[in-house]
């Protein structure tokens, strides 16, 4: 029965109880009123008319006595009065007889009538000659009337006693009926309270506790089939949804906390080989090479630099998304900045035989204050795109002044080209990350689609705005406006000499062979002596045996990492504890840098190592300078937010970095690893081993993420989170989702990179 039906039934019972109580009151009142009427109509009337008969007869006697011995006229009047009173007397007797309830009054009334009739007959004679017999008859009549009154009174007493009994019974029955109705109503009320009010109160308390954040709240009444059961089921859904939201928030917070670590790891993994490529290429250019070899080396450096640009774009985008991009505030030469952008773009423009030039509004100040590097980055992005998408014609950079106040000037930068142009429907999404106006453009021209998104965010953070005007086939005009303070022209003075370091004894703690060779290639030709150890523990032993001017300490090494080794070194006694330590890290995140400095390191350089940056860091720790470069950040948020099975941007970036052949080999390795991991997960699942289950998922996560398998990445991350929380049921559900994602991802990977069967496929 539903709650609605129960409430309607209770309402009907309440109405029925009220009606019954009203009817009982009505019946009781009517019955008692009738009883009162009968009491007045019978015994009281009998008594009253009996007494009235007594009074009338007494009046008749008085008239009779007064008329005795009077003249004839008076006697006649007296006789007429007696006759009139006699008729009244007869009526009173008749009423007393009718209102009586027993036979005694009837018999007595009959005798009284006879006696009064005889007395009245004697009254005429007694008027002339009174007699004792006449008076005796009157006396007898008076006695009989008194008896009549007494009998009527006794009947009235009996009637009253019986009426009192009836009234008491009526009262008791009425009370019993009311009590019965009240008991029924109370039972209904208790039933309603237990069946409806109490459950609703418990539900409300459960909802309040859930809303307050309590997790261990049991949802009652789930098995009921009425509205309260439906409410309980809805509350259960709400509880599950709330926990899911909390878990999602916890995962998001965990992802946010892990983002810095992930970006540091990705930076380390990418910058380490980049360090080898750029470092060895620079060293190669310093050797004797023929012109062809020198061209190859230059191309190698250019390619590595382009790859580093892509990496920096990704890290910049991540920092912008996290709101952690720092802005400098220093004087700079605006004309030189714009001209440097033109100079950088001129070789690419010359290759395509297009013209590139810059134009300045005469009212624009030359020296401004702000972040010249970020401004150059925006102009390079816009100008690079203009050159990329222009096959003939020209590209121009214009700087216009739009007034200003308070020591600042409003500038409008305009980059105009005569290239492809952009369709109206594509312009709205152009400033989104990883977005091209046309998907075919990325295949034809390459690129990640990050440049415009980064530029837009930088301009927004500088308090400006960016837009474009374009039509398909008619070229594009990108513009942005910012307000910058007017700067101070530089003072003319002697050019500072480059930093020159005395020959140093350097201890390098680095486990990667390529990185070892890069540092040696930079330091040894500069006259420094470098001892190399493979981990932090070996660095400690080396410091115990020798004295070094400085230690270059890698962060991630086997056996003992750089931070732990540094902490132990700082506990030494003597000069060994104070040796300057420079962190050599591929993790450019703020948290990573903070861990370096908190552990006791003096400075840091970021991989890939630039000779100037390394020399500057050594100079700082030796007392020449204390400046430090900004930190950097990576692509987990891309994989977490992607709805694709295979994210084209991520795998495309991998292909551009490593080449299709290497990626094809990675795909084969991944497929083999995936089969092994699924077997490990299945074994851990059967054994109920959450730690092994999560560890197996973790081992697949980074490989899948690197290949762009977004759904596999998301599922493995969810499994890892569930196993860490000890929620094996949720881990099982996510494992089923992982199997589906693996199957779909395998198909798309093999479609993009089919397995080779002994011969190279035709292009």
DSSP symbols for 628-692: -PPP----HHHHHH---SS-HHHHHHHHHHH-HHHHHHHHHHHHHHHHHHHHHHHHHHHHT-HHH
Q: What is the pLDDT of residue 269?
A: 62
Give the residue-averaged pLDDT of 124-136. 67
Strands (E), 43-132: none
**189-203, 415-429, 525-539, 621-635: which is most confident:** 525-539
Q: How far is CA 330 from the centre of its chain?
A: 43
Higher pLDDT, 47 or 391: 391
The DSSP line for 420-487 is: ----HHHHTTTTSTT--SSHHHHHHH---S-HHHHHHHHHHHTT-EEEEEE-TTS-EEEEEEEEEEB-
**11-15, 70-74, 155-159, 353-357: which is most confident:** 353-357
Taking residue 79's Cβ as centre, other Cβ atoms within 10 Å add up to 17
Q: What is the pLDDT of residue 549?
A: 93
* DSSP 8-state assignment for residue 43: I
Q: What is the pLDDT of residue 759?
A: 39
State yes or no: pLDDT of 89 exceeds 50: yes
Higher pLDDT, 122 or 272: 122
pLDDT tens, 669-691?
778 878 888 888 888 888 888 88
Q: Where do we find the tokens 């993009």?
A: 752
Split at pLDDT 50, 70, 90, the class of 127 is: low
**What percent of the chain clears pLDDT 90, i.e. is strictly above it?**
11
Distance (Å, rounded) from C-alpha 544 to C-alpha 198? 76
Helices (H) then strands (E): counts for the chain: 24, 12
Q: What is the pLDDT of residue 635?
A: 47
Nearest to 313 by CA among 381, 266, 383, 389: 381
Whole-prediction pTM value? 0.38
Q: What is the pLDDT of residue 490?
A: 66
Q: Which two tokens stand for residue 154?
A: 């006794």
Q: What is the pLDDT of residue 26?
A: 80
Nearest to 251 by CA among 755, 737, 614, 724: 724
pLDDT tens, 498-512?
567 889 999 999 886
Q: To the nearest 10°, the Cα dihedral for 332, 336, 338, 343?
A: -140
Q: Which two tokens stand for residue 217?
A: 């709240």
Please state whether beta strands 330-333 and 550-554 pair in parallel, antiparallel, or not at all (unpaired).
Answer: unpaired
**Residue 124 dihedral angles phi and psi, to the nearest 5°:** -65, -45
Q: Which residues contact 608 (CB under 8 A, 6 or more apart)?
A: 271, 272, 274, 275, 276, 277, 278, 279, 304, 308, 518
Q: 333 near 341, Cβ under 8 Å?
A: no
Taking residue 154's Cβ as centre, other Cβ atoms within 10 Å add up to 14
Q: Which two tokens stand for residue 700?
A: 């697949």
Q: What is the pLDDT of residue 166?
A: 76
Distance (Å, rounded) from C-alpha 715 to C-alpha 704? 10
| Peptide linkage before 292 cis (omega within 30 of 0) | no
pLDDT tens, 206-231?
777 777 767 677 777 667 777 777 77
Please state whether beta strands 408-417 and 476-485 pair in parallel, antiparallel, or not at all (unpaired).
Answer: antiparallel
Q: What is the pLDDT of residue 581?
A: 94
Q: What is the pLDDT of residue 515?
A: 67
Taking residue 299's Cβ as centre, other Cβ atoms within 10 Å add up to 11
Element (H, E) at 333: strand 330-333
Q: 631 near 267, Cβ under 8 Å?
A: no
Please list the residues that pair with 357 across neighbouring strands: 396
Q: 311 near 608, Cβ under 8 Å?
A: no
Alpha-carbon distance values, 179 to 20, 186, 297, 728 (Å): 12, 10, 108, 60
Q: Which residues contact 756 (CB under 8 A, 6 or more apart)?
A: 664
**156-170, 551-565, 707-721: which is most confident:** 551-565
Q: Where do we find the tokens 């010359």?
A: 350
Any idea how long the chain is? Answer: 763
State yes or no: pLDDT of 147 exceeds 90: no
Q: Which two tokens stand for residue 207?
A: 């909802």
Q: What is the pLDDT of residue 498?
A: 58
Give the residue-averaged pLDDT of 447-468. 82
Please state whether beta strands 505-509 and 550-554 pair in parallel, antiparallel, or not at all (unpaired).
Answer: parallel
Q: 415 near 393, Cβ under 8 Å?
A: no
Q: What is the pLDDT of residue 99?
A: 75
Q: Where do we find the tokens 């199957």?
A: 743
Distance (Å, rounded) from C-alpha 115 to C-alpha 89? 12
Q: Which two tokens stand for residue 348?
A: 């690419």
Crossing angle (nearest 10°) for helices 132-192 and 103-128: 150
Measured in Å, how far apart are the chain's first and last C-alpha atoms? 73
* DSSP 8-state assignment for residue 758: S
Taking residue 131's Cβ as centre, other Cβ atoms within 10 Å add up to 11
Q: 577 near 544, Cβ under 8 Å?
A: no
* DSSP 8-state assignment for residue 496: P
Q: Which residues contact 601 (CB under 8 A, 6 or more apart)?
A: 553, 562, 563, 566, 581, 582, 583
State yes or no: pLDDT of 653 exceeds 60: no
Q: What is the pLDDT of residue 204?
A: 78
Distance (Å, rounded) from C-alpha 711 to C-alpha 709? 6
Split at pLDDT 50, 70, 90, the class of 627 is: very low
Own/partner pairs, 657-665, CB within 8 angstroms, 24+ separation: 657/307, 657/310, 660/753, 663/707, 663/753, 664/753, 664/756
Higher pLDDT, 502 or 699: 502
Element (H, E) at 597: helix 590-598
Q: What is the pLDDT of residue 762?
A: 37
Q: Which two tokens stand for residue 758?
A: 């002994």
Q: 32 near 170, Cβ under 8 Å?
A: yes
């Amino acid at each position: 029965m539903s709650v609605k039906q129960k409430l309607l039934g209770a309402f009907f019972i309440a109405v029925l109880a009220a009606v019954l109580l009203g009817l009982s009151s009505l019946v009781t009142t009517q019955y008692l009123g009738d009883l009162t009427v009968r009491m007045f109509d019978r015994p009281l009337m009998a008594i009253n008319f009996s007494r009235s008969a007594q009074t009338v007869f007494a009046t008749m006697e008085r008239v009779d006595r007064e008329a005795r011995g009077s003249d004839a006229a008076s006697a006649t009047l007296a006789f007429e009065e007696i006759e009139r009173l006699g008729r009244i007397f007869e009526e009173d007797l008749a009423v007393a007889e009718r209102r009586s309830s027993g036979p005694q009054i009837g018999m007595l009334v009959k005798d009284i009538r006879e006696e009064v009739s005889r007395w009245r007959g004697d009254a005429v004679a007694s008027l002339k000659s009174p007699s004792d017999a006449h008076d005796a008859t009157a006396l007898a009549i008076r006695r009989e009337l008194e008896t009549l009154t007494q009998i009527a009174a006794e009947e009235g007493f009996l009637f009253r006693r019986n009426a009192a009994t009836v009234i008491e019974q009526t009262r008791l029955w009425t009370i019993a009926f009311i009590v019965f109705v009240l008991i029924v109503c109370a039972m209904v009320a208790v039933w309603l309270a237990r069946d409806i009010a109490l459950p609703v109160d418990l539900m409300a308390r459960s909802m309040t506790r859930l809303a307050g954040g309590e997790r261990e709240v049991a949802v009652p009444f789930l098995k009921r089939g009425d509205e309260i059961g439906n409410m309980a089921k809805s509350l259960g859904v709400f509880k599950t949804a709330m926990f899911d939201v909390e878990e999602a928030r916890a995962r998001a917070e965990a992802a946010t906390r892990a983002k810095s670590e992930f970006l540091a790891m990705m930076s380390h993994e990418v910058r380490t080989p980049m360090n080898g490529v750029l470092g060895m290429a620079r060293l190669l250019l310093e050797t004797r090479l023929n012109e062809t070899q020198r061209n190859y080396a230059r191309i190698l450096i250019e390619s590595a630099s382009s790859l580093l640009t892509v990496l920096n774009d990704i890290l910049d985008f991540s920092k912008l998304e996290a709101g952690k991009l720092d802005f400098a505030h220093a004087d700079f030469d605006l004309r030189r900045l714009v001209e440097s952008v033109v100079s950088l773009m001129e070789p690419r423009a010359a290759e395509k035989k297009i013209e590139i030039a810059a134009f300045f509004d005469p009212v624009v100040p030359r020296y401004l204050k702000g972040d010249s590097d970020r401004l150059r980055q925006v102009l390079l992005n816009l100008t690079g795109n203009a050159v990329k998408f222009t096959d003939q014609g020209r590209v121009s950079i214009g700087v216009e002044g739009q007034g200003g106040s308070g020591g600042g000037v409003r500038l409008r930068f305009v980059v105009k080209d005569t290239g492809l142009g952009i369709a109206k429907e594509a312009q709205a999404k152009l400033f989104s990350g990883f977005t091209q106006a046309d998907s075919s453009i990325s295949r034809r021209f390459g690129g990640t689609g990050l440049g415009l998104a980064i530029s837009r965010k930088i301009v927004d953070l500088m308090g400006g705005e960016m837009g474009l005007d374009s039509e398909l086939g008619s070229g594009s005009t990108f513009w942005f406006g910012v307000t910058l303070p007017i700067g101070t022209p530089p003072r003319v003075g002697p050019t500072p000499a480059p930093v020159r370091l005395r020959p140093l004894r350097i201890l390098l703690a680095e486990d990667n062979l390529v990185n070892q060779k890069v540092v040696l290639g930079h330091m040894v030709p500069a006259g420094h002596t470098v001892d190399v150890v493979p981990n932090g523990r070996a660095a400690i032993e080396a410091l115990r045996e020798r004295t070094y001017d400085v230690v270059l300490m890698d962060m991630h090494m086997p056996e003992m990492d750089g931070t732990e080794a540094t902490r132990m070194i700082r506990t030494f006694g003597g000069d060994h504890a104070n040796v300057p330590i420079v962190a050599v890290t591929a993790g450019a995140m703020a948290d990573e840098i903070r861990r370096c400095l908190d552990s006791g390191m003096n400075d840091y350089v970021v991989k890939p190592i630039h000779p100037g940056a390394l020399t500057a860091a050594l100079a700082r720790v030796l007392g020449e300078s204390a400046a430090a470069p900004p930190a950097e950040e990576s692509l987990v948020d891309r994989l977490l937010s992607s709805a694709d099975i295979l994210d084209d941007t991520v795998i495309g970036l991998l292909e551009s970095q490593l080449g299709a052949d290497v990626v094809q080999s990675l795909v084969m390795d991944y497929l083999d690893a995936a089969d092994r991991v699924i077997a490990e997960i299945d074994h851990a699942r059967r054994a109920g081993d959450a730690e092994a289950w999560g560890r197996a998922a973790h081992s697949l996560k980074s490989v899948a993420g690197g290949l762009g398998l977004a759904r596999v990445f998301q599922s493995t991350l969810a499994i890892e989170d569930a196993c860490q929380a000890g929620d094996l049921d949720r881990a099982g559900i996510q494992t089923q989702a992982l199997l589906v994602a693996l199957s779909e991802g395998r198909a798309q990977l093999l479609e993009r990179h089919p397995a080779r069967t002994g011969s190279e496929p035709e292009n």
